[in-house]
Structure 1
Amino acid sequence: MKTDPAAPLFVVNPMSGGGRTKKRWPALERALARAGFEPDAAFTMYHGHGYGLAAAALEDGRRTIIAVGGDGTLNEIISAVIDAGQAAGVRVGTIPMGTGKDVGKCLGIADPVRAIRAIASGAERRLDVGRVAAHDEFGNPVVRHFLLELSAGWIPEVSKSTPRMLKLLGDTAPYIMTTFAKMLGPMNRDFEVQIDGQQFHGRYNSVSIHNMELWGGDMVAVPGAAPDDGLFDVIRWGPLGRRAVIKAVRDMQAGGTHLGTEGIDHHAARVIELASPKKSYLDADGEPGGYLPARIEILPGILRFLAPE
């Protein structure tokens, strides 16, 4: 059967949201049918499968691909579209079903009903995407992309270490619990940071690069950060001790009052270079982003995203 390029493909991660998506898919399918769709769905079976499903759909001529899952599932779809060089002709959307739903919250479509309405309306926003040139664990060059955030240092270790079963507890609680557990180990390391040509060298807890204002559920990393202004918001965290980290978490939960406090520095930038003498993992939208050293640059307005203005 020939693929209808106009019909969206729904790439469903049944294990997202701690496995809740698998249980909720039949109800979502009925909601999509009521919105006028005949849902054509492909289900991921392992990490990275969403990328492969999206790449195959693009080869078949598909022009709309919707991620049904978490921000990591959406990241795989976006990466496949950009890597294929088809961002100009392909629309991407999401029905957020993951733990944090950060992208959905930032775009006003965290609720599945609103997300389906946005997809059905066809309204588009042109969004910026981050491009990361980094290395894999063996030192080979890799390229990754991110829509929400990229981080290096202690913070991505929290995301990487959050158990799947904890994600059943809600949007923010799993990350808060893992944060406190990770405080028992080392929390700071040396970084070389270059932000639009300005050099910084020092000891930091983490360096994070944001394209939207939220992360970790309901925590506000950068109040008002816009995904369509052609700029990243970069935060240099540290060095921070346990009390400072606890205060920063509380300040982010309170709406983002952490910026400007001692030890936390904020910059707007287009190009960032990161390096560290310690092997440092990169988190890109909750997905593996490679290892340092890395060069990060913004791709302004590259993504056609189904969401209201």
Structure 2
Amino acid sequence: MADDIPYVIINPNSNGGKTGKELDYILSTCKRVFGDFNFKVTRKLGDGVFLAKEAKEAGFKTIVAIGGDGTLNEVSNVVANTDIKVGLVARGGSCDAHQTHGIPRKLEDALEIVAGGYNERFPLGLARGDTDRYFIDMTDAAFTGAAADADATFGWEWLPADFRYGLIAMKIALFNFRPVPSKIVVDDQIREVDVSAFAVGLSDVLAGFQILPGNHPRRNEFGVLIAKDLKGLRLIYNMLRALKGKHLKNKKHIEVLWGRNVVIESEKPMTWEAEGEIYSRKSTRVEIEYLPNAINLIIPEGWQYDTIIEEKPKLVSRIKARIN
């Protein structure tokens, strides 16, 4: 029976707690779309891992993550390198991975895509720092890692997630952050720089910022962003330019490399995060490996990964029209 119905994991704390307030609506919509289904609700950070393991051990073949990027990340860390299908339903703030894979924000439309069951295999990244962590979208450190760490305890959850993150990031840039001397190796490319921001991605967007414009999961390699020698107001200025991907024009301080194996050795530990989950604070050496075909995602059939970001809403609209 388990392999015939979806196992739904719901994070009620996502989107500033709005998901919890919509729980009855979410469950009734799941019932209308899926018919039979099992569900569990997370209570705290990390519960998504525990519940996904429970579903895996019970023999469920489809796990649906209803929440933000963090909920999806927790599920991904359990189902990596299996045949379990993962459904994506956006109920978080940024939901970067959901945008990458063309998932509509409307609950019923996203659930209909899951019910349709069309799936493809995609790469994952595997980062090794204090702990090992798979990521489906992007991992980052230095300035952005510090901002993500502060975001977890900042409060003000009533603010839109991307706006709140922006406020925190500006505070970190102005008062707390200094570039970190580091040696970076991307395949056979070596850079020794003072790192201001560092990101390794399978897609283009981080917390609403176009960090790696044009990057997507079908490139068959990581995009690696290196920002160097930036602090204070200059760092904030380039961060704001990243909202539209214009930071890459600053070739003196920002570079993008491409590759499958990344190693960074830093003079002091940096905070590392993946999809909002902190996995390393103490390590001075972090290794990141590209893993092809490592996860099975349910996506809209016909989604075009090389679509430029400005055209993605039109493509999502066409997919929604086909669903309805």
- Unpaired stretches in structure 1, ≥5 consecutive residues: 136-141
Partner of 1:97: 91
Change (3 A) 1:292 1:79: farther
Q: 1:151 Cα shift? A: 0.9
- Unpaired stretches in structure 2, ≥5 consecutive residues: 304-324
Partner of 1:139: none
TM-score (norm: length of structure 1): 0.90
Q: 1:239 Cα shift? A: 1.3
Cα distance in 1, alignment partners of residues 176 and 278 from structure 2: 21
Q: 1:167 Cα shift? A: 3.6
What's the Cα RMSD here? 1.6
SS in 1 for 2:164: helix
Answer whether contact 1:101 1:171 (CA < 8 A) is retained.
Answer: no
Q: Structure 1 stretch 150-159 or stretch 164-173: which is displaced more?
A: 164-173
1:134 to 129, 142, 150: 129
Sequence identity (%): 23
Partner of 1:147: 136
Cα distance in 1, alignment partners of residues 229 and 52 from structure 2: 40
Cα distance in 2, alignment partners of residues 130 and 294 from structure 1: 12
Cα distance in 2, alignment partners of residues 164 and 73 from structure 1: 19
Partner of 2:62: 64
Cα distance in 1, alignment partners of residues 44 and 65 from structure 2: 15
Q: 1:153 Cα shift? A: 1.1
Cα distance in 2, alignment partners of residues 49 and 264 from structure 1: 37
Partner of 2:218: 228
Change (3 A) 1:148 1:167: farther
- CA deviation digits over 1:193-229, x for unaligned, max 9? 111122211211121111111111x221111211132
Corresponding letter in the other structure for 2:87? G
Q: 1:245 Cα shift? A: 2.0
Answer whether contact 1:237 1:265 (CA < 8 A) is retained.
Answer: yes
SS in 1 for 2:257: strand
Q: 1:68 Cα shift? A: 1.0
SS in 2 for 1:166: coil
Partner of 1:109: 103
SS in 2 for 1:109: coil
Change (3 A) 1:292 1:213: same
Answer whether contact 1:228 1:301 (CA < 8 A) is retained.
Answer: no
SS in 1 for 2:158: helix
Partner of 2:190: 199
Q: Does 1:258 align with 2:253?
A: no
Partner of 2:120: 125
Cα distance in 2, alignment partners of residues 32 and 26 from structure 1: 10
Corresponding letter in the other structure for 1:145? Y
Corresponding letter in the other structure for 1:48? G
Answer whether contact 2:175 2:232 (CA < 8 A) is retained.
Answer: no
Corresponding letter in the other structure for 1:165? G
Corresponding letter in the other structure for 2:234? A
Cα distance in 2, alignment partners of residues 74 and 213 from structure 1: 17
Partner of 1:173: 163
Answer whether contact 2:197 2:226 (CA < 8 A) is retained.
Answer: yes
SS in 2 for 1:150: strand
Change (3 A) 1:289 1:110: farther
Partner of 1:238: 228
Give the count of matched residue pairs. 295
Q: 1:266 Cα shift? A: 0.4
The structure with the greater share of residues assigned to helix is 2
2:298 to 287, 302, 306: 306
SS in 1 for 2:2: coil
Cα distance in 2, alignment partners of residues 165 and 108 from structure 1: 30
SS in 1 for 2:34: coil
Cα distance in 1, alignment partners of residues 37 and 235 from structure 2: 44
Cα distance in 1, alignment partners of residues 35 and 258 from structure 2: 41
Cα distance in 1, alignment partners of residues 17 and 296 from structure 2: 29
Q: 1:110 Cα shift? A: 4.2
- Runs of 4 or more off by more than 6 Å in structure 1? none
- CA deviation digits over 1:216-260, x for unaligned, max 9? 1x221111211132211101111112232222222222x212114
1:296 to 278, 288, 298: 288
Cα distance in 1, alignment partners of residues 155 and 109 from structure 2: 27
Cα distance in 2, alignment partners of residues 244 and 300 from structure 1: 37
Answer whether contact 2:33 2:108 (CA < 8 A) is retained.
Answer: no
Partner of 2:75: 77
